[in-house]
Chain A
Amino acid sequence: GQNIDQPTEMTATEGAIVQINCTYQTSGFNGLFWYQQHAGEAPTFLSYNVLDGLEEKGRFSSFLSRSKGYSYLLLKELQMKDSASYLCAPRDSNYQLIWGAGTKLIIKP
Chain B
Amino acid sequence: IAGITQAPTSQILAAGRRMTLRCTQDMRHNAMYWYRQDLGLGLRLIHYSNTAGTTGKGEVPDGYSVSRANTDDFPLTLASAVPSQTSVYFCASSERAGEGTGELFFGEGSRLTVL
Contacts and interface: CB of A to CB of B under 8 A. Distances in A.
B12 interface: no
Contacts of A4: 42
Interface string B14-37: 000000000000000000000100
A99 interface: yes
A96 B106 contact: no
Interface stretch (B60-68, B74-82, B94-102): B94-102
B42 to A, nearest CB: 3
A101 B43 CA distance: 7
Interface in A87-109: 87, 89, 91, 95-102
Interface in B37-64: 40-45, 48, 58
A95 B35 CA distance: 15
B104 A100 contact: no
Contacts of B98: 95
Residue of A42, A48, A87, A101 most packed against chain B (CB within 10 A): A42
Which 7 A-B pairs give the minimum distances between C-beta atoms? Answer: A99-B42, A42-B106, A99-B43, A45-B103, A48-B101, A101-B42, A95-B98
Interface of B: 35, 40-45, 48, 58, 90, 97-99, 101-109
28 contacts: A4-B42, A31-B102, A33-B104, A35-B104, A41-B108, A42-B90, A42-B109, A43-B90, A43-B104, A44-B106, A48-B102, A48-B103, A87-B42, A87-B43, A89-B43, A91-B102, A95-B98, A96-B48, A96-B58, A97-B43, A97-B45, A97-B102, A97-B104, A99-B35, A99-B42, A101-B41, A101-B42, A102-B42
